[in-house]
Amino acid sequence: MFERVKRGLFPAPSKPGRRSASAAVSEWALRQGLAFSERGDGQGYSLTGTISGKAWKIECGTPLRDFIHGEELRARAELDLAEEVSVLVFNRPLKENLEKKAYRIYTDMLQTSVGPLLTEEMRWLAMYQEVGWGRMNPAFWSRYSVLASRRDDATVWLEPALSNLLLHWPEPAPQVTTPFMLMLLRGKVYLRMEYAPSDLPTLQHAAAIFTRACQSALNGLTIDKRKLGSRM
């Protein structure tokens, strides 16, 4: 108990490199009209904004998934979307690694129950089928895998502006093997990726991808627009 009290009264000082990185993010957020908040322990920060009146949030901090190392960027926006719309974009190496891990769990005869050992991402791989279409740049399919409950929803969401952002990262760009996920699930848009905390261009581009993903979903996949599309 004393240790918890001591940490609360005297939090560990943040590292100089992290402070300078956070300062750069804070300055950029101010120019963009975003709210910036740094965690009290100096171990992360968050950005908040709105798009078409819908609130969104991006956080940088300790990873919440074991396949992400170092730092993690994660974002979430609650949008007025149909709950049944499910589209997931994985970078291909991450999808393959998750598939291999799930296969090992299934085939390990020492495991009496695989259910609790499968992560949410592994379950998605089993729930949704991989989809594709010819109008997309072939380089996109080399880098990413798209899973969906309905291919039509994926083609609407991954329109040219969003797919181009996903394909063209600023230099030094994240490696093809860098864990990355962009998801449209349960009426919300999510982003999750491995991140180096001092890499401001990658953060800016990830924010552009995320906000474009939100706008694309609002443009074509709100409940009313999906009902209108089904009648056409």
Cα 214 from chain centroid (whole Å): 12
Average pLDDT, stretch 1-27? Answer: 57
Residue range 119-152, pLDDT digits in tens:
889 889 989 999 999 999 999 999 999 999 999 9
pLDDT in tens, 65-79: 999 999 999 999 999
Choose the weakest-confidence range: 22-31, 37-46, 94-103, 188-197: 37-46
Do the domain assignments include residue 141?
yes
**What is the domain range of residue 167?**
60-231
DSSP codes joined into one string, the chain = -HHHHHHHHSPPPPPHHHHHHHHHHHHHHHHHT-EEEE-TTSS-EEEEEEETTEEEEEEEES-SSTT--SEEEEEEEE-SB-TT--EEEEEHHHHHHHHHHHHHHHH-TT-S--GGGS-HHHHHHHHSEEE--TTS-HHHHHHEEEEES-HHHHHHHS-HHHHHHHH-PPSSPPPTTS-EEEEEETTEEEEEEEE-TT-HHHHHHHHHHHHHHHHHHHHH-BHHHHHHHHH-
Look at residue 119 and tell me if it is in a domain.
yes
pLDDT tens per residue, range 190-215: 999 999 878 999 999 999 999 999 99
Please report the pLDDT score of residue 153 as a whole number. 96
Q: What is the mean pLDDT of residues 73-92?
A: 94
**Residue 18, pLDDT score:** 55
**Residues 68/179, Cβ–Cβ less than 8 Å:** yes
Residue 5 clears pLDDT 60, i.e. is over it: no
Tell me whether residue 18 is in a domain: no
Q: How confident is the model at residue 4 (pLDDT cuts 50, 70, 90)?
A: very low
pLDDT surpassing 70 at residue 14:
no
Decide if 170 is inside a domain.
yes
DSSP letters for 29-64: HHHHT-EEEE-TTSS-EEEEEEETTEEEEEEEES-S
Is 196 a domain residue? yes
> Is residue 35 assigned to a domain?
no
Q: Is residue 40 part of a domain?
A: no
For residue 10, tell me if it sits in a domain.
no
Split into its structural domains, the chain has a count of: 1
CA 191 – CA 120 distance, rounded (Å): 14
Average pLDDT (157-176) is 95
pTM for this prediction: 0.84
The answer on pLDDT for 91 being more than 70 is: yes
Q: What pLDDT score does 80 carry? A: 83
CB 54 within 8 A of CB 77: yes
pLDDT band at 112 (very low <50, low <70, confident <90, very high): low
Query: How high is the pLDDT of residue 216?
Result: 97
